[in-house]
Amino acid sequence: MKGDIIVFGRGVYYQAKRVALQKEFHVVAYLDNNAKLGDSEEGIPVYRPEELSNLPPYQIVIMTSRRYFIVMAMQLKTLGVSNERIIFGMNISPFFDVGEQLVHDLHGVVSIDNSQAVLKCDSGEYRFSTEEEYQAVIWRLSVGKNPFGEVLAKSPLQPASRRFGAERGKPIDRYYIDSFLESNQEFIHGDVLEIADTIYTQRFGKGVTRSRSLHVANWGGTDDHLQGNLETGVGIPSETIDCLICTQTIQMIYDIHSVVKNIHRLLKPGGTALITAHGISQISLSDYNNWGEYWRFTKQSMEKLLWEAFPRQGVTVQAGGNVKTAICFLYGLCQEDLAEEDFLYNDEQYPLIITAVCRKAAS
């Protein structure tokens, strides 16, 4: 039979553990310092901590991260709650962060002892009264158990390459860009315009009737090159292009809002823009010194930017990358230094490259 509990805290931390907690316990009430009269969640009443005297003396599970759990425990203590009634959510799986996982691996339990929290584990007993003291305990326990501390803390201060690893092989970000264009080559047809050169059009184009490049300074200067400014709109024709390949360009332009509007204007009805930009990256110094480099993107920022000109249903934004490929990219390693499987895992918290397919309405 499930035990009855009161949950103190309903934020992100609790939501991460809600399902597991409710399998083990029956939540009869919530405590929330911001609760209003008559509040409820999923039919369960929500009270302010000062209203505890109106509730039975059930155990109270504090559901918050390391920053507030001691403060909340002390708040309960001032309201007369005994040590035995207070349970810390960090003792309950799934574990929210590596600190909680470490405590679990050491068979540890955190409890309250009057004005202090106490961690008892295989390595001994540790007391702390603040977040900083808790962090110091976790750091001490992790020494020798954390491979990142052994490797990354001793990493060199200078990168292996300041040219994205291009001296030795293919830059890591190009893996994601090439994969994106290959998977969307169905859109690279008809009258295709590409930034600076036509390499990607030649590699991935299908049924291309005309291939041109666009550059603000008219690199090339032939009929196959178009001089135009995506920021000001000068030299950008209206509704003439079936597909624009715009890789690693918009972060170099300050007024990105005008850029998106001019890209939309450039496309024929039903046309497509294939756009990539950096999420996590070092600065490209040559571009920085020549044109400027202003922006890094997330999936959210790219979507909101593109929705300013394109219909929402016509925009598909994705992110590629993980902590390993991001670190190696920042250090200037190249694709050849990594294994294929390193590129197959995408972690939304470490977006190295943001990609977008933008389709203009057909009419």
Report CA torsion sign: 102, 107, 113, 118.
negative
Question: What residues does 272 pair with on adjacent strands?
Answer: 243, 359
Question: DSSP labels for 70-106?
Answer: HHHHHHHHHTT--GGGEEEGGGSSSPSSHHHHHHHHT
Q: 13, 89 in Cβ contact below 8 A?
A: yes
Question: pLDDT tens for residues 140-158?
Answer: 999 888 888 778 888 999 9
Distance CA 196, CA 76 (A): 64
96 pLDDT more than 70: yes
pLDDT digits (tens, 9 = 90+) for 216-237: 886 654 557 889 999 999 999 9
CB atoms within 10 A of CB 331: 17
148: tokens are 């990142």
Strand partners, 5: 27, 59
* Separation between Cα atoms, residue 84 and residue 63, nearest integer Å: 16
Query: Does residue 120 register a pLDDT over 90?
Result: yes
pLDDT tens digits, 236-249? 999 999 999 999 99
Q: Are 247 and 278 in contact (CB under 8 A)?
A: no
Residue pair 265/310 in contact by the 8 Å Cβ criterion: no
Cβ proximity of 281 and 308 under 8 Å: no
More confident site: 145 or 276: 276
User: Could you give the angle at which helices 256-266 and 299-306 cross, rounded to 10 degrees?
Assistant: 60
Q: What is the pLDDT of residue 328?
A: 97
pLDDT 10s digits, 108-118: 999 999 889 99
Q: What 3-state class would DSSP assign to 54?
A: helix
Once rounded to an integer, what is the mean pLDDT over residues 21-36? 93
User: What confidence score (pLDDT) does residue 144 get?
Assistant: 83
In this structure, the dihedral spanned by the alpha carbons of residues 126, 130, 133 and 135, taken in order and rounded to 10 degrees, is 100
What six digits make up the tokens of 259? Answer: 């850029």
Burial of 335 (0-12, 13-18, 19+ CB in 10 A): buried
| pLDDT (0 to 100) of residue 38 | 83
Percent of the chain exceeding pLDDT 70 equals 98
**Total count of residues recorded for the chain:** 363
Asked if 52 contacts 32 with a C-beta cutoff of 8 angstroms, the reply is no
pLDDT averaged over every residue in the chain: 94
CA distances from 49 to 5, 79, 121 (A): 14, 8, 30
Which pLDDT tens digit goes with each residue over 174-220?
999 999 999 999 999 999 999 999 999 999 999 999 999 999 886 65
Letter string b/e over residues 134-172, b meaning 16 or more CB atoms within 10 A of that residue's CB: beebbeebeeeeeeeeeeeeeeeeebebeebbeeeeebb
Whole-prediction pTM value? 0.86
How far apart (Å, rounded) are the C-alpha atoms in residues 130 and 229? Answer: 55
Percentage of residues in the chain with pLDDT exceeding 90? 87
Structure tokens belonging to residue 7: 């949950």
Residue 34 or residue 306, greater confidence: 306
Q: Average pLDDT, stretch 43-48?
A: 94
In the prediction, which pLDDT does 220 show? 55
Residue with tokens 């708040």: 75
| pLDDT score for 277 | 98
Q: Does residue 320 surpass a pLDDT of 70?
A: yes
What CA–CA distance (Å, rounded) separates 352 from 248?
Answer: 12
Task: Tell me the pLDDT tens digit for each residue of 49-88.
Answer: 999 988 999 999 999 987 889 999 999 999 999 999 999 9
Q: How many CA atoms lie within 13 A of 214 on its CB side?
A: 24
Mean pLDDT (whole number) for 254-258:
98
CA neighbor of 69 nearest in space, from 104, 117, 101: 117
